[in-house]
Structure 1
């Protein structure tokens, strides 16, 4: 039997004893989140309260009372939910159904990120994402998957080379959501996700501690797939394409090597300076595929660099782009979604930060972590593969997409951060 506990947001403390100054107070088998001195708690405070309440062993939280807003309920849910309880919140008010639908999509994306690398190999990731989105709009979704040697034959050199060292073949999944019924309808937006289902680092091998959480390196694919699912649920009525760049980065006799030179569809040659800078190599293919779709908006998302983690502390998604208006719109939508973001530097000259004697560019520098400005340099590399001088392109380095261990705001595992912001952008732009 499910044990449900009422969670009440109140501006009147219920205890005069030892709990009096605590924001979380227990009274008569109910739990109260108490506002201090009649002042509204921040959404961050409410999320922290949700994490504390889950830690009490509560199975399902039922939000009751008149003070809950849509934003405060969502903040609580993000703090309370965790592995095994990803949908265990009962919302209140006229937005309860919408919040429950949104939470279910976040739960799917977070659960996908939490799966083990043996469960979630590249083709399985592509299939699960396609199946899930198809259930939301079966009549409007078509899917194609290019896998294994077909990738090389069709010119998708980044995905092929990164994944060729694994027994599980790499793949590019192309999903077309087209509710217009017109096969010639323009593509309003394209989403590109990094789907590295396990990242050993390749021959630039990671230490054990750095490799432990690398099942999450497909977090970008989970986020963009979740964002499209949420946008569809919210009534997306324009054509959007989804590109998932899926591979395992492994060490073997067939793996790609330091010093290899890859030639992309746009003619650009790339020297491999670091096999652990594989995410940008697969995303380059996805960005080229998105450019072929001629969409006005291209968003790529990836758990791309340790440099972004160092810069943001893992509390923010790092944003990059060359389109100032799009950057400002993204920051505004992120505030509405309560998904913290921070813009890091990107200029056209960042494209030249990873030089090569033997190719047009290298995929990184040979210094540890790619050297100074590693996250910006990675974004600069990606900028070489976008059209229109970067207009309409947004790169999200998902430093806040996964936590290896619980903290005061989040349970361990995937967070889904970025889903709501991307969904809002494609609904608006589309």
Structure 2
């Protein structure tokens, strides 16, 4: 049909636009990027999606000295302002009085000015189907007192990749004016080391009321997501999606290019896979295998954050932990890498947007 390589003109233009991305905050290139004019392409949609993906990549690529919790809040405020959305931010010790104790526990060790916070963006008319997007916003992960080795810490500026992804996906939804009531929920923390850091063996309260024994302070992402998912459930959404750079086990299972997702909703799983195929944005479903639930049990609390070693499947046990806090109804969890470790044409080394183009295609099919 005259499509280049069988591709839709809009898809071809988007692929080219995504391939032009460069992170230039600290190192400017003089050459102006080329611009592709593709007859028949929806240039407005291409610009919107490319701009959103560039936002995610820019946030991921920015090091933690220039992107702390406050700067992540600033990016969320800028996004809310651009689309006329509401934003509420709960910061520091106010997290305790407002019911986000796990977010506070993970982030309280950070330096002054880098306090933990809960960011909530709301957009769209009340009464429309609710869509909650929850993103892990750990701006840097030392591992806490269970300190990561140097090699494991090197890329931890990207541990807010989930937050960057839900901000970008939220931008796509708002710019397309999808008829939904959108909530973007980002717990933003630095998992730092100080005299006030949470300790192995501590028992944390959560917003849901479940107690969690901290077996390992480096399994902190699921702790902040627990409070954020509980908040999402209070909104009674039609659909909840959470994205997080959660486990190394997901990379052992599927590598850096193929993010796993988890859901027990068969219709949602099929819709996610259809959106992924349509957008050429690959994902792979892994099971929420209930046989591993026992690995989260502990004698002194409702559950623990470091599953027993016998279960082995770290990405699955993390997802099972999150499921205990997820809203009833349609929910899916994405364990993304958010990084290209190897340069390829169109994919420079550095921050990468994964799954959200496919998720946007799914959301359009579901609600538009």
CA contact (8 A) 1:352 1:380 kept: no
- How far residue 193 of structure 1 moved from its aligned partner, in angstroms, is 0.4
Equivalence for 1:278: 220
In structure 1, the residue matched to 2:357 is: 420
Q: Give, in angstroms, the shift of residue 237 of structure 1.
A: 2.3
Q: Which runs of 5+ in 1 are unaligned?
A: 1-9, 12-34, 44-67
Aligned length, in residue pairs? 357
Q: Which residue pairs with 2:50 in the alignment?
A: 103
Match of 1:197 in 2: 139
Gaps of 5+ in 2: none
TM superposition score normalised by structure 2: 0.90
Q: Quick check: 203-212 or 98-107, which moved more?
A: 98-107
Question: What is the aligned partner in structure 2 of residue 396 from structure 1?
Answer: 334
* 1:126 paired residue number: 73
- Structure 1 match to 2:115: 169
Residue 274 of structure 2 is aligned to residue 336 of structure 1: no
* Residue of structure 2 equivalent to 1:228: 170
Tell me, yes or no, if the aligned pair for 2:295 and 2:311 is still in contact at 8 Å. Answer: no
Provide the rounded CA distance (Å) in 2 between the counterparts of 1:366 and 1:274: 11
Per the alignment, residue 14 of structure 2 pairs with: 74
Bigger shift: 406-415 or 169-178?
Answer: 406-415
The one-character-per-residue Cα deviations of 1:34-68 (angstroms, maximum 9, x if unpaired) are x9xxxx48x8xxxxxxxxxxxxxxxxxxxxxxxx7
- Alpha-carbon distance in structure 2 between the residues aligned to 1:90 and 1:134: 30
Q: Assess, with a 3 A threshold, how the Cα gap between structure 1 residues 366 and 204 changes in structure 2: closer, same or farther.
A: farther
Task: Compute the displacement of 1:366 (Å).
Answer: 6.2
Q: Determine the C-alpha separation between the residues in 1 that align with 2:185 and 2:205.
A: 20
For the residues of structure 2 that align with 1:257 and 1:392, how far apart are their CA atoms? 34
State the shift of 1:411 in Å.
Answer: 0.5
Mark the structure with the bigger radius of gyration: 1
Secondary structure of 1:421's aligned partner? helix
Q: CA-to-partner distance for each residue in 1:252-271, whole Å, 9 max, x for gaps?
A: 10000100111212221111
C-alpha contact 2:278 2:361 (8 A) present in aligned 1: no
Q: CA deviation at 1:349?
A: 4.3
CA spacing shift, 1:408–1:100, aligned 2, 3 Å:
closer
**1:280–1:363: 8 Å Cα contact kept in structure 2?**
yes
Partner SS, residue 296 of structure 2: coil
Asked whether the 8 Å contact 2:80–2:121 carries over to 1, the reply is no
Answer with 215-224 or 74-83: which moved more.
74-83
How far apart are the structure 2 equivalents of 1:105 and 1:112?
A: 11
Higher relative contact order (CA 8 A, sep 6+): 2
Superposition TM-score, scaled by structure 1 size: 0.78
- Aligned position for 1:379: 319
Report whether the alignment pairs 1:93 with 2:39: yes
Would the aligned equivalents of 2:102 and 2:207 in 1 still touch at CA under 8 Å? no
Q: Which residue in the other structure is 1:60 paired with? A: none
Q: Is the 8 A contact 1:201 1:276 kept in 2?
A: yes
**C-alpha distance after superposition, 1:140-198 (max 9, x if no partner):** x11100110011122212211110111110000011102x3x5xx35511110000000
Q: C-alpha separation between the residues in 2 aligned to 1:101 and 1:187?
A: 23
Partner of 1:90: helix, strand, or coil? coil
